[in-house]
């Protein structure tokens, strides 16, 4: 018994096999691995920072200090996100748009406490 494979199918199979064997040795693969190795510690640090500052802020929310800590935690999340975007741009060459800039309103501490908590980007609340 002889199995006949059409030439078009054989060409497709060879192309797929070639791509699979060549992919681990491309520059893109190594760039993504490096981004992963840099990004994971950054993400762990960000998660720990935000988790600790938010928990502290919630515990101290009975005082004004707790609300200020929550506001600064949200600003810190924006900063860590900015660092992560910069790393992705630098290592992977990705084009990632920055969120709208933070604009403080007039008031105590430059309006940071209220604006940090109610801004659409930091809190992901719908805009008005």
So where are the chain's domains? 27-123
Q: Compute the distance between CA of residue 41 and CA of residue 106 in angstroms, rounded to an integer.
A: 36
Q: Is the pLDDT confidence value at 126 over 50?
A: no
**Number of CB atoms found within 10 A of residue 114's CB:** 15
pLDDT of residue 127: 47
pLDDT digits (tens, 9 = 90+) for 66-106: 888 988 898 899 899 999 999 999 999 888 888 877 776 66
User: What is the C-alpha separation between 83 and 126, in angstroms, rounded?
Assistant: 24
DSSP-derived letter for residue 2 is -
Three state DSSP letters for 92-104:
HCCCCCCCCCCCC
Confidence of residue 11 (pLDDT cuts 50, 70, 90): very high
pLDDT higher than threshold 50 for residue 31: yes
Instruction: Confirm if 91 and 38 have CB atoms less than 8 A apart.
Output: yes
Share the mean pLDDT of the chain.
83
Query: For residue 40, is pLDDT > 90?
Result: yes
Please tell me the predicted confidence (pLDDT) of residue 1: 80
Q: Which of 5-9, 56-60, 84-88 has the lowest mean pLDDT?
A: 5-9
> How would residue 37 be classed by pLDDT, with cut points 50, 70 and 90?
very high
């Amino acid at each position: 018994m002889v199995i006949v494979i059409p030439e078009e199918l054989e060409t497709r199979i060879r192309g797929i096999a070639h791509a699979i064997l060549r992919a681990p040795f491309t520059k893109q693969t190594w760039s993504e691995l490096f981004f992963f190795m840099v990004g994971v510690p950054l993400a762990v640090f960000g998660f720990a920072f935000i988790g600790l500052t938010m928990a502290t802020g919630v515990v101290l929310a009975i005082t004004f200090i707790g609300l200020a800590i929550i506001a600064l935690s949200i600003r810190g999340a924006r900063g860590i996100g900015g660092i992560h975007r910069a790393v992705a741009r630098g290592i992977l060459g990705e084009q990632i748009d920055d969120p709208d800039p933070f604009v403080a309103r007039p008031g105590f501490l430059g309006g940071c406490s209220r604006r940090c908590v109610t801004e659409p980007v930091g809190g992901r609340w719908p805009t008005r």
